[in-house]
Amino acid sequence: MKVLIAEDEVLHAEMLRGMVASWGHAVTVVENGREALEAAACRKFDLFLLDVFLPDMTAMELIPQLKTLQEEARIITLTGQSSRETERKLRELGISYYMAKPFQRDELHSILVHMAGRPRVRGRHRTTNPIINPT
């Protein structure tokens, strides 16, 4: 998969880049919403890994704009400031997964394996592969 990571904390961005690339995915890293939109306007991504609170905008502001550019791309949000209200708002925007930081490496890996094996069909996932539930 082609994955765009939007994360403003350098250590987190590098950790995510290393993990996702080691699992065989092509990775692009940006540090704010503007750069994410610029990248999405130029290249197609299968997945966006978004920090919820970027320096120039929140994921709630960014996601509708990304979906305009790449309607079929899937989105995983990551946040160190998790709340039920934030999660509810993001789910209403159609994200695939909501993850609170810190998260387990195996959990993210399982989600990406699941997503890579389940291509989108007319805006929905195929139902032939079982969902992987990380423990």
Asked if residue 113 belongs to a domain, the reply is yes
CA pair distance 63, 59, nearest whole angstrom? 6
Asked if residue 73 belongs to a domain, the reply is yes
Q: Which domain holds residue 96?
A: 2-125
Q: Judge whether 93 and 60 are in contact, CB under 8 Å.
A: yes
Asked if residue 28 belongs to a domain, the reply is yes
Tokens of 59: 């994921």
Q: Give the CATH number for residue 39.
A: 3.40.50.2300
Asked if residue 26 belongs to a domain, the reply is yes
Asked if residue 132 belongs to a domain, the reply is no
Asked if residue 40 belongs to a domain, the reply is yes
Q: What is the pLDDT of residues 21-73, one digit of tens each?
A: 999 999 999 999 999 999 999 999 999 999 999 999 999 999 999 999 999 98
Asked if residue 134 belongs to a domain, the reply is no
> Model-level pTM?
0.84
Asked if residue 130 belongs to a domain, the reply is no
| The pLDDT value given to residue 73 | 86
Domain count, the chain: 1
**Per-residue confidence band for 135, with pLDDT thresholds at 50, 70 and 90:** very low
Question: What average pLDDT does this structure show over 7-13?
Answer: 95
**52 burial type by CB count under 10 A (0-12 exposed, 13-18 middle, 19+ buried):** buried
